[in-house]
């Protein structure tokens, strides 16, 4: 009874005892049916309940593998796996029985009932059980839930001589339940307020994770769990996390210490898996015994900083900490979720990051297996970003940006139609010959891949003034359990339009930043016929892709990579802005420069830096470093400013400038210049290889070779155009 009251929403919040008050929501009937119920007092109690906890979670053990008693583990705690969950209808649950369970048992009342769930039989998850107070008191009943393969476990301990007394001779009452993966258990069958559901995870010997739900609160505990690189595993875990408010998960490793096959995940993987779910809080546990408080605190701080930039709240599990969940969801509606999403989206400045998140959300609303964003450039629509669950993993989605797929802004294609008319188009089956549409299906049927598209939803993307700047295309609605694509519903079309209306404006703002940079460059290039838009796009793309390759090798978080890459792409484009300060006669000189002319040419590094001096935008600080140092060489030669002032070498040269220096020279070699003919890719690659360790940072040269195929795509996407016409 008390529990169902919590679902009530009551207004006004502080009803005047004499006045009117309204009680809404489920449980109303029982409220008034309750014996000697005073509706007003009941309502007040329900109101108070809104303030009360619905599920309280306490961490009693957060270590993995083995308990540690060292002072360096005193802050985050040395006990192994144990979590206590109490609901306010009095259900008490323990998840895992590591050494933390012994201590937790000490503080329990003299009698009661408790549910203990064991995820798997590894020692760090079970040794506390035999020392759990309720098992030694006749006044207690313990429900013990064991994965079915652990049936022999209780007796085994005595039989093998691990414990002196047989399990069945302990004084407490024990009811043992064997459970399978996917099993659903009601913990208090009288009103089924509290339920538990198991799922299996990747862990040597098996492991059952648990999802515990009470009223509005849902908790997920992974137990031991290795998230493999396999996208199916990622997807399964992301699905399990839907509707979960707080998740406590195994993150024993980071990417650097990751041991494949040991059955534990890296914290970085959880960040990827939880993106796009509606989780509010993520607790990382199963800390390695070797990880000190200092290390844990450093990571904790970093994770807290992610929360500042719009990530869900992530924390390192700390022994003794409690969390309360279940209040928020009472009031959350789906439109709140979209608002929250949009608020989050405004925090990103990189166009690729915005497109990625926007596409993911639109696909979620429309249950679309695939989707693309097209942007207008001149009189064509270029595919700028794409997801396709059937063909590639989302982490490779950015590569589609270089695929050079485009359509005219006309009725020759579905996206062209949406962009030229500003109308959305919902086609239930493009393969059906009966389908009539006001456009040709060139964009969806002429694709060379084997991917078959049936249902297509296409929406125009508009800026604040209502001008179309692109289109969003979603393909193949897949309903849960459905085998073949079904048509997009009218509601999905409406919801996606509403989302696109808002997200489109945010995206357009990001694109405007790139357009501003192009305008600056056009201004700077009035006297430099070869400094084209393509050149700037190539330098931006090549530099940011070298960085991406490098950062992946270093095991950087994909979210960090995305942010830095977006900034770098724009900043790199500005590297030669300072050429505006160099005379036309020098820039356009067909032959070799004289030493005097060279000296004047060198000024462009200092001019570029000074133009960007008062610029407070995020990209500007990076762009300043790049402008100043992009002609400095690894061996200390080169220049930054006219007279070789402030010469740096090796790792002292800012990293961003070392990246741009390689991309810039490579581009100068393969592109035509007024003073030279274009070189072949092969010749240019051989040249930079020879210069590794002399002109260039050898590690960065290696990364350039790592993206060789992508390099060719980038040059095809942004070909050298005719030199700019002179004004
Ligand atoms: P840029 O054309 O964008 O060239 C950038 C950098 O690429 C050059 O920096 C140089 O390190 C490398 N590079 C370009 N072409 C060649 C080449 O044929 N062989 C080799 N080994 N390296 C090459 P650098 O030398 O500091 O020049 C900076 C800028 O000065 C150049 O930008 C270009 O605008 C101008 N410049 C340099 N040399 C000449 C020249 O002989 N004649 C003219 N008209 N301009 C030049
Ligand atoms: C992030 O961008 O994800 C975090 C901040 C940083 O490390 O650059
Ligand atoms: C970005 O602009 O977000 C990154 C650049 C890229 O992915 O190519
Ligand atoms: Fe384990
Ligand atoms: Fe330069």
CATH number, residue 194: 3.60.15.10
Four-CA torsion 130, 134, 135, 141, nearest 10 degrees: -140
174 and 94 part of one domain: yes
Residue 616 in domain: yes
The closest-lying atom of ligand 2 relative to the alpha carbon of residue 559 is 3
Establish whether residue 565 lines the binding site of ligand 3, counting it when its CB lies within 6 angstroms of any ligand atom: yes
Say whether both 290 and 343 belong to one domain. no
pLDDT digits (tens, 9 = 90+) for 498-529: 999 999 999 998 898 888 888 888 887 777 76
Say which CATH number the domain at 449 has. 3.30.450.40
- Can you tell me the mean pLDDT for 373-379? 93
pLDDT at 277 over 60: yes
Whether 584 and 666 map to the same domain: the answer is: yes
Best residue among 348, 566, 567, 718 to mutate for probing ligand 3's pocket (most ligand atoms within 8 Å of CB) is 566
Instruction: Report phi then psi at 196, rounded to 5.
Output: -135, 140
Q: How far is the CA of 108 from the centre of ligand 4 (A)?
A: 27
In a domain? residue 6: no
Nearest ligand to the C-alpha of residue 626?
Answer: 5
Per-position DSSP letters for 231-258, written without gaps between them: HHHHHHHHHHTTT-SEEEEE--B-TTT-
d(CA 544, CA 561): 10
Q: How confident is the model at residue 59, as a pLDDT?
A: 95
Angstrom distances, CA of residue 312 to CA of 238, 306, 352, 471, 724: 14, 8, 20, 29, 48
Domain count, the chain: 3
Q: Residue 597 CB: number of other CB atoms within 10 A? A: 15
Q: Do residues 534 and 478 both lie within one domain?
A: no
567: in domain? yes
Q: Looking at the domain assignment, is residue 515 inside a domain? A: no
CA of 1 to the centre of ligand 1 (A): 81
Interval between CA 641 and ligand 1 midpoint (Å): 15
**Ligand 1 within 6 A of CB of 631:** yes
Q: Do both 194 and 298 map to the same domain?
A: yes
* Burial class (CB within 10 angstroms; exposed 0-12, middle 13-18, buried 19+) of 433: exposed
CB atoms near residue 720 (< 10 Å): 16
* C-alpha 443 – ligand 1 centre gap (Å): 42
Q: Assess whether pLDDT exceeds 50 at residue 330.
A: no
Query: Between the CA of residue 185 and those of 241, 253, 298, what are the distances in Å?
Result: 18, 32, 39
Sequence-ordered list of residues with C-beta below 8 angstroms from that of 548, at least 6 positions apart, any chain: 561, 565, 707
Q: Which atom of ligand 1 is nearest to the CA of 665?
A: 7
Task: Determine the Cα–Cα distance for residues 711 and 668; give it in Å rounded to an integer.
Answer: 14
pLDDT of residue 447: 67
Judge if 552 and 663 occupy the same domain.
yes
Task: Tell me: do 207 and 311 sit in the same domain.
Answer: yes
- What is 588-644 written as a DSSP string? T-SSPPPHHHHHHHHHHHHHHHHHTTT--SHHHHHHHHHHHHTTB-TTS-B-SSTT-
The pLDDT value given to residue 64 = 95
The domain boundary, picked from 509, 540, 560, lies at 509
Same domain, 556 and 679: yes
The secondary element (H helix, E strand) that includes residue 412 is: none
**Is there a contact between 397 and 386 (Cβ–Cβ < 8 Å)?**
yes
Spatial distance between the Cα atoms of 21 and 38, rounded to a whole number of angstroms? 13
For the residues of 459-516, what is the DSSP string, one character each? Answer: EEEE-TTS-EEEEEEEEEE--TT-SS-BPPPHHHHHHHHHHHHHHHHHHHHHHHHHHH
pLDDT for 153-178, tens place per residue?
998 888 888 899 999 899 999 999 99
CA distances from 602 to 386, 430, 593, 648 (A): 41, 58, 11, 15
**Predicted local confidence at residue 46, as pLDDT:** 47
Pocket of ligand 1 contains residue 598 by CB under 6 Å: no
Compare 333 and 718 and report the one with higher pLDDT.
718
Burial class (CB in 10 A: 0-12, 13-18, 19+), 554: exposed
Give the residue with greater pLDDT, 207 vs 521: 207
To test ligand 2's pocket by mutation, which of 557, 560, 561, 566 has the most ligand atoms within 8 angstroms of CB?
Answer: 560
Match 């001149």 to its residue by tokens.
378
Residues 650 and 678 reside in one and the same domain: yes
In-domain check, residue 724: no
For ligand 1, say whether the CB of 313 is within 6 Å of any of its atoms.
no
Structural domain of residue 388, as residue ranges?
A: 336-509
498/590 same-domain check:
no
Domain presence at residue 642: yes
Q: Which two tokens stand for residue 518?
A: 């192009």
- For 458, the enclosing helix (H) or strand (E) is strand 456-462
The number of the ligand nearest the C-alpha atom of 532 reads 1
509, 536, 566 - which closes a domain: 509
The residue ranges of DSSP E strands in 289-389, in sequence order, are: 313-316, 322-325, 368-377, 380-388
Could you give the percent of the chain with pLDDT greater than 70? 87
Closest ligand to Cα 604: 5
pLDDT in tens, 35-53: 233 444 344 444 444 433 3
Query: Do the Cβ atoms of 245 and 220 come closer than 8 Å?
Result: no
Residues 570 and 450 in one domain: no
CATH number at residue 641: 1.10.3210.10
Report yes or no on 214 lying in a domain.
yes
Average the pLDDT over each of 122-126, 135-139, 557-561, 673-677 and give the range with the smallest value. Answer: 557-561
Domain closes at, from 509, 535, 553: 509
Out of 10-24, 378-392, 590-604, 605-619, which region has the weakest mean confidence (pLDDT)?
A: 10-24
In this structure, is residue 115 part of a structural domain? yes
Do residue 392 and residue 469 come from a single domain?
Answer: yes
Q: Identify which has the larger pLDDT, 563 or 80.
A: 80
Q: What DSSP assignment string belongs to 679-727?
A: PPHHHHHHHHHHTBTTTB-HHHHHHHHHTHHHHHHHHHHS---PPPPP-
Task: Name which of 197, 257, 254, 262 is nearest 226 in CA terms.
Answer: 262
């Amino acid at each position: 009874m008390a529990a169902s009251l919590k679902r009530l929403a009551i207004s006004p919040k502080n009803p005047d005892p004499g006045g009117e008050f309204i009680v809404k929501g489920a449980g109303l009937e029982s409220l008034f049916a309750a014996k000697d119920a005073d509706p007003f007092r009941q309502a007040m109690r329900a109101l108070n309940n809104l303030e009360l906890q619905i599920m309280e979670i306490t961490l009693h053990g957060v270590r993995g593998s083995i308990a540690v008693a060292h002072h360096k583990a005193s802050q985050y705690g040395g006990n192994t796996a144990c979590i206590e969950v109490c609901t306010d209808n009095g259900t008490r649950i323990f998840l895992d029985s590591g050494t933390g369970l012994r201590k937790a048992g000490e503080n329990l009342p003299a009698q009661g009932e408790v549910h203990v769930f064991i995820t798997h039989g590894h020692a760090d998850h079970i040794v506390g059980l035999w020392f759990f107070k309720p098992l030694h008191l006749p006044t207690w009943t313990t429900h013990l839930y064991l994965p079915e393969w652990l049936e022999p476990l209780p007796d085994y301990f005595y039989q093998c001589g691990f414990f002196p007394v047989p399990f069945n001779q302990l004084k407490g009452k024990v009811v043992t339940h064997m459970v399978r993966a996917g099993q659903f258990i009601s913990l208090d069958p009288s009103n089924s307020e509290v339920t538990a559901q198991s799922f299996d995870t990747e862990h040597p010997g098996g492991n059952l994770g648990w999802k515990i739900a009470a009223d509005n609160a849902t908790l997920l505990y992974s137990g031991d769990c290795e998230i493999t690189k396999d996208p199916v595993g990622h997807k399964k875990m992301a699905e399990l996390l839907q509707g979960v408010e707080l998740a406590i998960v195994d993150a024993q490793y980071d990417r650097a210490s990751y041991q494949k096959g040991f059955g534990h995940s890296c914290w970085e993987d959880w960040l990827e898996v939880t993106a796009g779910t509606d989780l509010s809080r993520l607790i990382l546990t199963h800390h390695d015994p070797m990880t000190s408080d200092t290390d844990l605190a450093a990571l904790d701080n970093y994770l807290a900083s992610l929360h500042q930039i719009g990530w869900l709240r992530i924390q390192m599990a700390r022994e003794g900490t409690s969390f309360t969940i279940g209040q928020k969801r009472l009031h959350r509606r789906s439109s709140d979720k979209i608002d929250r999403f949009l608020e989050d989206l405004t925090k990103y400045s990189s166009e690729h990051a915005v497109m990625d998140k926007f596409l993911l959300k639109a696909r979620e609303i429309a249950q679309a297996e695939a989707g693309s964003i097209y942007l207008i450039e001149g009189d064509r629509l270029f595919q700028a970003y794409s997801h396709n669950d059937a063909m590639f993993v989302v982490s490779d989605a950015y590569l589609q940006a270089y695929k050079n797929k485009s359509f005219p802004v006309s009725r020759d294609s579905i996206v062209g139609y949406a962009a030229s008319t500003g109308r959305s188009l919902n086609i239930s089956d493009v393969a059906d010959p009966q389908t009539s549409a006001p456009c040709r299906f060139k964009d969806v049927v002429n694709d060379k891949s084997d991917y078959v598209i049936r249902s297509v939803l296409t929406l125009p993307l508009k800026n604040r003034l209502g001008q179309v700047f692109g289109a969003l295309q979603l393909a193949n609605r897949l309903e849960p359990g459905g085998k073949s694509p079904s048509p997009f519903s009218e509601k999905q079309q409406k919801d996606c339009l509403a989302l696109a209306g808002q997200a489109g404006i945010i995206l357009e703002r990001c694109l405007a930043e790139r357009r501003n940079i192009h305008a600056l460059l056009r201004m700077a290039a009035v006297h430099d016929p070869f400094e084209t838009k393509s050149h700037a796009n190539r330098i931006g793309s090549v530099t940011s892709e070298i960085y991406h390759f490098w950062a992946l090798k270093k095991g950087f978080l994909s979210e960090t990579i995305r942010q830095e890459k977006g900034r770098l792409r724009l900043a790199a484009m500005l590297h030669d802005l300072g050429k505006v300060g160099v005379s036309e006669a020098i820039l356009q000189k067909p032959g070799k420069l004289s030493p005097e002319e060279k000296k004047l040419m060198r000024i462009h590094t200092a001019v570029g830096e000074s133009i960007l001096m008062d610029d407070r935008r995020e990209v500007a600080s990076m762009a300043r470093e790049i402008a100043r140092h992009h002609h400095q060489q690894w061996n200390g030669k080169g220049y930054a400013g006219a007279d070789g002032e402030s010469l740096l070498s090796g790792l002292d040269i800012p990293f961003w400038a070392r990246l741009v220096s390689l991309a810039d020279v490579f581009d100068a070699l393969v592109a035509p210049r007024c003073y030279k003919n274009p070189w072949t890719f092969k010749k240019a690659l051989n040249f930079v290889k020879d210069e590794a360790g002399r002109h260039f940072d050898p590690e960065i040269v290696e990364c350039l070779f790592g993206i060789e195929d992508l390099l060719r795509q980038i040059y095809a996407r942004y070909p050298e155009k005719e030199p700019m016409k002179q004004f």
